[in-house]
Structure 1
């Protein structure tokens, strides 16, 4: 066995019994919070409920403590959350060349429970909504100051009755330390093994009381610079040029329709140009100066419309040579909280925060495989002109790639730079009415702004005019200028590399921009307390009212509004959603200290919500906790939850970008315009959720005393799910399954080639997620200053099903990701942590396992029943191998005085430098699941006083 293999085995054996220790485990921590009752005069309210006091929460709640967060040396909260199995993991922030049509901010970190989509996970800060960061309604976790986080509570079940819309998959509640007394500081830096993905971070927080203890103020600031990881060819696994070769002769040559293979290369495009037809000229290519190359293009095996296997030219990753594996993100955030006891029973609270995030990305280079060049074009080399005349050729089809290098003398790759800012202020009063009764009222204002600028983007109207050049009286000119002398067209020479003028480039390419402005006003009042004492305890109730006004305004350049760019088309629109809602919740104790039950409690809640755009809807929840004896607790909940359509889904007039789709009738890949946009006829999604589980906390004095174990089943059935279906899915539904409602979304040209696919927001029939969460915690105390804490979190995803008019597709177990295909979630995943404390030294070992999965459940490979290579959806393999990742953290605490502590720490990510599994598509792997950076290092120092 190799040294690496031995180390992996050792780390895994060490982590097998791991589980989050008490303050971090879902079941146990939730119970601790619930059972704590009060801390001083402050009531503990468990996320998922509006009630306070000592009851057992029926809804599963995972709690991550401060120790767990700091041990991972993450530069933002999104990194920490995405390590948990219940989330759809994402190893990198949003990387797309963002557009108002897509809604995702460049560089943002969104949280996605159950793989149901980030818009169905509600993020709260101190129990209150945070202003959305994007027009999709999601909050960027980058903008929350990690240093001030006291704990994070994660409800893995529906909670709309408690918190309203979006809490379909669950709630993430970030609790900040508003009682900090003293100061904390942290400085950290890191890099990858090959010297990219460099990170720097600095943060500071301080708090103190004033006015004789009646007031308290906390301020914090955080800055980080997460550097880029280089493009595809900086990693061996990516530079192998794996791709999907579309085999057009699959019915006759004995091979499947789609073939995984390395060395997939571009067959119809080069960086100096290539002629693709007519056949007499096919393969003629050019030197960098634009002259005809002496030797023809060397084709590989079975050249197709776009790709081939082997041969010269650029591999299937030519679009990936420039885009970052991890995009650079710079951010900073500021936070302040002021509390003051106005009277002995009334406290005033003001909280303000500001965050800014900037990110950039590099996109695909120009790729054109079917440009028509007229024989009269003056840029055609003389020998080729003579050949055209001799063969009576009036035009030919030409293929061209742009440069992969920014700042080249040729057509630079596309690029984008985005900047997001978020401001939030909340002010309110909290008070006591005597006894157990508490109330609070607050007003909150939030503002999010985002702007993205894109560069080197093809102008769809100007580019073909510039390409159609003729010889004029004073040299080359655009043919269109002959009839429109003032159109400003400048001829573009694409023969060779960089042989065009700057004026020609500026005419054919440009820099679109888009902006979005989100504003949110919230006013709310809540009251809770014990209504009456009953036979088994007090009947606790909570009630509240909330008013919310969300406005959205987007803008874009004029060309983008007219869908005139190849990428980055935006839209100008505005919309307003007014929400009025009220809720009531109760806790009814049914039995306590009886012969048949130590405890039985019924928790119920209902909420009525009125949306100005989609009407009135009711949500509810009922939960039961049954504890037959000490240490064993059963819990079950049933809820009706909703997500109302957001402004982007309702009001966006649409945008368009070119997309690569495979015509299943011919198995030929084609570039079609993919239109996206909103739909004013959308109605709210409605989910019905079951959770049922058991919690074991043996206690006592034996070896099982520190054990904490919870197992919970979840079943979420979402009707009318709002989604934008991928273009390829629409084509497949139409052509493979004859679904007429999908065929109506496709436009074809006179030659029956797909020219446009309309992927608008729709209320899909149903979305189903089912599975099991399991959590285990155990602690071994080895002395007054030594201990070992074990943590294991696991999720089994039985189903992630989309049901439409054609049928059902289950993407649970899908770990591959195609160009435009829908993403899935692992069948099961496990994250474990072992923390060993020996005096001042703490060692943390984190393991994460993703098992072997399916590439795409809509395809069929040799591993699948019913496979035949003659099937249109056949593929050479339909499996993606699994990966085991190990991370290692070490910290040393150094005391300096009675109240000051320094902590030196280091962290190694992907300790054994595991490459991701190959999964061809838009990248050579699935970056949403697998690490694309390799081994990385972090080191820093923390100070507490």
Structure 2
């Protein structure tokens, strides 16, 4: 093992670490630069000499942005793309992702971005290992350090895309606070934020106590009360498209609606097709608009009565948040050079979310003897009394699906740090950390079995009262007891008792625990010829575990919910690792940085990660550097142990060409091994001595992940079963009449893909089992740019007061591909329907004048397309295929938003304070319209991409900071 470590340190003389411009102390070129420990390395150097690409967000940066939530600011950084936010995860009700605020560097996934608090891991918030930024004690964060290069050798698993380290203000003395209130220009999304910090020295300065409290409340926006959202933007199927006729298959368009659903139900087939039921059960004839003469070739209407299909009012544009946290720290220098400390924190986060109305897309079967069929409809279509009819509805009479996610995170640390002399001056630290996350997910959802009973409404034997069929005929099912009949024909036609019968609150509790013990040493070894040799090494042991409790009633039968039972998400793993890092000066202004880490996982085996780098300064103003690293991501608790639970949605049944409901059931795989990523970083930093205060950095990165953990989606599994893959056919089970899963895999029971007596049936409700494997190859490439300039204006003209600071950050994404072997990999860069535009940038101009501070921020991204695989055409189109769809307009717009900040310092006796106003999206620019679709899952979504565009409009925040330090 030692040989492997030595080899890893010696073989890489090929790259250079990149540093952060923002780590330089503000001021002129001669200003002192403090020595600090930066996140890219455990060896003490100043920020500009950091051996790994690093961006530092200072207290001033955070204050000038005045975010309602810390994650709102971090996710504006150009290198961050595709993070999970409450707004873009509001449909992820049962997975536990709703309400999360995560950080996703490079678009590689939040579980490939390592989140640290003062250099230590934080306990995960979900079984996939991601950390909710809401759990960070936000009122105490003084800076954020973002390493956008591989750092697994320094900090361990999950740092494939990089590290985000939240630095807390642990040494503060005095009393300080920040109180603010925010609202959008439309009078909604009220938000309140208050933090209070107190620090006190004890015992003549040998001790220190620190207390902090944070209160954040964001009311959110339920529904989508914005004019741009009322335009009905969707990606629709072209009703005129026929294979080979030269028409595009897809049409992104406004004034569109899914004509297979209305609030009170619409008849989707048979002689009464197009009859829909409105307020109070009124009978109406649907206008199919431009699709009218096509007799049902398209489920999408353009024009006509498209408005009656809209149900985005059941979706949260911005989910609500409630964050309460307390933090305490006590330290004491017991002898000179040795300090012991203890930390304790508690965070409670609530995510309140509307996840969209339950859509029954033309699949509600109504029997001919249903007592609620309107008499007027039967008079016009008497055959319905025997044949029945099929409805589609988004069920306006019962509540939209809702989630209540409560996360409680406890974190306890005891440790010691100090220094000693033994052939050199050493610094050391050791600690034990215990983290516990309790995640409670509670949903408001219809029960599909009870709704089925209630919809089957008939007259009782005396023909005097409408009752449920199970009530009239009798049923032993406990769920049938107390059945209240449901009227599927209209809006406002059902009683509260009927709503109460079909609705319920499935819930689950999940606990994640993390125990970490670590010991680290670092020193500078004297070198009589060159700079001292930096050396750091340490060991760490970590244990992560998960367990859950789900009551039996919440495990099946729900449209949203169906949580796994207690045994299906229980498991743990242990990790023991050791690392060594060195920084060596070489002749000709060359510096070598290397690190290696040997890690042993109880489930995934042993793996060596390493990093090597060189920096070279050919002239004093220019520094070139590069890094070559091997990084890993170990399989998380979900990928190893989870079984059961999952999502409910719809897919296309290839045997019939019709839509079928399915339940996706994830399954763990104990044979998974760590993902291995090879990373290259090349860059330069230029600080010309003839322009004091100016700096420029450019970095190229290339990350390739082999053995990436992935799984096929439900539609892919069914499609490939249809194409003849019998192994994937075994991952499909049919539901029985009472919605219970068949006892064994459907295809193990004799189903096959042929016609005849054993042909696959209509796949009404099916279960699709998804399992993860190490079979995907992923790659991402790009360029990071940072430029900064700071100068007193007196340098330009003596009469000009104040200081001007300029800073620009930009990322040019070049490639993001994923190859799972099932189809040619596609570069997703530039697909503005996703999260990776070609360019993403943020520029700031800050002017400080005595007691005043002014700042303007411009942020945005470049124009793009829906998909790089689409072929844009309006006529004479080639054949549209599953890999290359034809589309009438593949363009998606760029965006540029301007934010403003104004602050005024005030003095009241000994109280220093600052009043500030911050405005986001100053010019109230609407988001670009993005047509989601054409599946039914798009219909509850507003017509934009909430991962990229600013969808709230102009927002204001006013606040007051004070400091008695």
The TM-score with structure 2 as length reference comes to: 0.86
> For 1:809, what is the secondary structure of its paired residue?
coil
2:83·2:110 contact (CA, 8 Å) conserved in 1?
no
* Map of 1:8 onto structure 2: none
**How far has the Cα of 1:751 moved from its partner?**
4.1
Question: Mind listing any 5+ residue stretches in structure 1 that lack a counterpart?
Answer: 1-24, 404-409, 592-596, 818-822
> For 1:168, what is the secondary structure of its paired residue?
coil
The partner residue of 2:693 within 706, 709, 730 is 706
1:800 matched to 2:777: no
Separation in structure 2 between the aligned mates of residue 670 and residue 858 of structure 1, nearest angstrom: 26
Q: 1:494-533 to 2 correspondence within 5 Å?
A: 494-531=488-525, 533=527
> For 2:210, what is the secondary structure of its paired residue?
strand
Separation in structure 2 between the aligned mates of residue 478 and residue 668 of structure 1, nearest angstrom: 29
* Map of 1:272 onto structure 2: 264
> For 1:911, what is the secondary structure of its paired residue?
coil
- The change in CA–CA distance for 1:163 and 1:390 in structure 2 (over 3 A counts) is closer
1:450 matched to 2:439: yes
1:432 matched to 2:426: no
The partner residue of 1:908 within 903, 912, 919 is 919
The partner residue of 1:307 within 300, 306, 309 is 300
* Map of 1:216 onto structure 2: 208
Separation in structure 2 between the aligned mates of residue 184 and residue 763 of structure 1, nearest angstrom: 50
Q: 1:258-407 to 2 correspondence within 5 Å?
A: 258-278=250-270, 280-286=271-277, 288-290=279-281, 293=283, 295-302=284-291, 303-304=296-297, 306-312=299-305, 314=307, 317-318=310-311, 320-368=312-360, 369-385=362-378, 389-390=382-383, 393-403=386-396
Separation in structure 1 between the aligned mates of residue 73 and residue 816 of structure 2, nearest angstrom: 23
* Map of 1:602 onto structure 2: 592
* Map of 2:963 onto structure 1: 944
1:913·1:934 contact (CA, 8 Å) conserved in 2?
yes
* Map of 1:243 onto structure 2: 234
Separation in structure 2 between the aligned mates of residue 199 and residue 26 of structure 1, nearest angstrom: 36
**How far has the Cα of 1:698 moved from its partner?**
2.0
Question: Mind listing any 5+ residue stretches in structure 2 that lack a counterpart?
Answer: 1-17, 735-759, 795-799, 933-937
* Map of 2:453 onto structure 1: 465
> For 1:499, what is the secondary structure of its paired residue?
coil
Q: 1:671-820 to 2 correspondence within 5 Å?
A: 671-699=661-689, 702=690, 704-724=691-711, 726-727=713-714, 749-751=760-762, 755=766, 757-783=768-794, 786-817=802-833
Q: Which 10-residue stretch deviates more, 628-637 or 676-685?
A: 676-685
* Map of 2:406 onto structure 1: 419
Separation in structure 1 between the aligned mates of residue 289 and residue 659 of structure 2, nearest angstrom: 18
Separation in structure 2 between the aligned mates of residue 636 and residue 186 of structure 1, nearest angstrom: 41
* Map of 1:575 onto structure 2: 571
The partner residue of 2:532 within 524, 535, 538 is 538
2:90·2:319 contact (CA, 8 Å) conserved in 1?
no
**How far has the Cα of 1:322 moved from its partner?**
2.0
2:201·2:209 contact (CA, 8 Å) conserved in 1?
yes
The partner residue of 1:881 within 893, 918, 925 is 893
- The change in CA–CA distance for 1:400 and 1:27 in structure 2 (over 3 A counts) is closer
- The change in CA–CA distance for 1:933 and 1:211 in structure 2 (over 3 A counts) is same
1:639 matched to 2:629: yes
* CA offsets 1:604-652 (integer angstroms, 9 cap, x no match): 1111111112111111111111112212111111111111111122111
1:892 matched to 2:888: no
Q: 1:221-232 to 2 correspondence within 5 Å?
A: 221-232=213-224
The partner residue of 2:839 within 815, 824, 828 is 828
2:68·2:193 contact (CA, 8 Å) conserved in 1?
yes
The partner residue of 1:139 within 131, 147, 150 is 131
Q: 1:26-45 to 2 correspondence within 5 Å?
A: 27-30=20-23, 44-45=36-37
- The change in CA–CA distance for 1:147 and 1:491 in structure 2 (over 3 A counts) is closer
1:925 matched to 2:944: yes
* Map of 2:737 onto structure 1: none
1:219·1:337 contact (CA, 8 Å) conserved in 2?
yes
- The change in CA–CA distance for 1:391 and 1:841 in structure 2 (over 3 A counts) is closer
**How far has the Cα of 1:123 moved from its partner?**
0.9
Q: Which 10-residue stretch deviates more, 63-72 or 781-790?
A: 781-790
Separation in structure 2 between the aligned mates of residue 680 and residue 698 of structure 1, nearest angstrom: 54
> For 1:260, what is the secondary structure of its paired residue?
strand
1:107·1:329 contact (CA, 8 Å) conserved in 2?
yes
**How far has the Cα of 1:472 moved from its partner?**
2.9
Aligned length: 885
**How far has the Cα of 1:734 moved from its partner?**
7.8
Separation in structure 2 between the aligned mates of residue 380 and residue 339 of structure 1, nearest angstrom: 74
Separation in structure 1 between the aligned mates of residue 726 and residue 872 of structure 2, nearest angstrom: 27
2:826·2:869 contact (CA, 8 Å) conserved in 1?
no
1:791·1:832 contact (CA, 8 Å) conserved in 2?
yes
**How far has the Cα of 1:890 moved from its partner?**
0.7
* CA offsets 1:630-678 (integer angstroms, 9 cap, x no match): 1211111111111111112211113243324456898865544333343
* Map of 2:10 onto structure 1: none
The TM-score with structure 1 as length reference comes to: 0.88
Separation in structure 1 between the aligned mates of residue 308 and residue 925 of structure 2, nearest angstrom: 23
- The change in CA–CA distance for 1:349 and 1:603 in structure 2 (over 3 A counts) is same
Separation in structure 2 between the aligned mates of residue 172 and residue 729 of structure 1, nearest angstrom: 34
1:199 matched to 2:191: yes
1:77·1:146 contact (CA, 8 Å) conserved in 2?
yes
Q: 1:660-671 to 2 correspondence within 5 Å?
A: 660-661=650-651, 671=661
TM-align CA RMSD: 3.0
Separation in structure 2 between the aligned mates of residue 100 and residue 93 of structure 1, nearest angstrom: 11
* Map of 1:628 onto structure 2: 618
> For 1:119, what is the secondary structure of its paired residue?
helix
Separation in structure 1 between the aligned mates of residue 767 and residue 290 of structure 2, nearest angstrom: 31
Separation in structure 2 between the aligned mates of residue 697 and residue 375 of structure 1, nearest angstrom: 81
- The change in CA–CA distance for 1:213 and 1:336 in structure 2 (over 3 A counts) is same
Separation in structure 2 between the aligned mates of residue 732 and residue 390 of structure 1, nearest angstrom: 37
- The change in CA–CA distance for 1:210 and 1:870 in structure 2 (over 3 A counts) is closer
1:862 matched to 2:847: no
Separation in structure 2 between the aligned mates of residue 401 and residue 272 of structure 1, nearest angstrom: 7
**How far has the Cα of 1:306 moved from its partner?**
3.3
* Map of 1:10 onto structure 2: none
* CA offsets 1:2-55 (integer angstroms, 9 cap, x no match): xxxxxxxxxxxxxxxxxxxxxxx952345769xx9xx99x97322121222469
- The change in CA–CA distance for 1:146 and 1:546 in structure 2 (over 3 A counts) is same
> For 2:189, what is the secondary structure of its paired residue?
coil
**How far has the Cα of 1:694 moved from its partner?**
0.6
* CA offsets 1:293-348 (integer angstroms, 9 cap, x no match): 2x533332225553211222545642x22212111111122122222110002111
Separation in structure 2 between the aligned mates of residue 547 and residue 304 of structure 1, nearest angstrom: 61
> For 1:426, what is the secondary structure of its paired residue?
strand
**How far has the Cα of 1:285 moved from its partner?**
3.2
Q: Which 10-residue stretch deviates more, 930-939 or 430-439?
A: 430-439
* Map of 1:110 onto structure 2: 102
- The change in CA–CA distance for 1:665 and 1:314 in structure 2 (over 3 A counts) is farther
* CA offsets 1:746-766 (integer angstroms, 9 cap, x no match): 679524789555444343421
1:103·1:136 contact (CA, 8 Å) conserved in 2?
no
Separation in structure 1 between the aligned mates of residue 329 and residue 25 of structure 2, nearest angstrom: 26
> For 2:221, what is the secondary structure of its paired residue?
coil
> For 1:720, what is the secondary structure of its paired residue?
strand
Separation in structure 1 between the aligned mates of residue 504 and residue 456 of structure 2, nearest angstrom: 19
Q: Which 10-residue stretch deviates more, 307-316 or 786-795?
A: 307-316
**How far has the Cα of 1:944 moved from its partner?**
1.7
- The change in CA–CA distance for 1:863 and 1:208 in structure 2 (over 3 A counts) is farther
* Map of 1:82 onto structure 2: 75
1:229·1:933 contact (CA, 8 Å) conserved in 2?
no
Separation in structure 2 between the aligned mates of residue 333 and residue 689 of structure 1, nearest angstrom: 37
- The change in CA–CA distance for 1:732 and 1:159 in structure 2 (over 3 A counts) is farther
1:590 matched to 2:586: yes
- The change in CA–CA distance for 1:939 and 1:664 in structure 2 (over 3 A counts) is farther
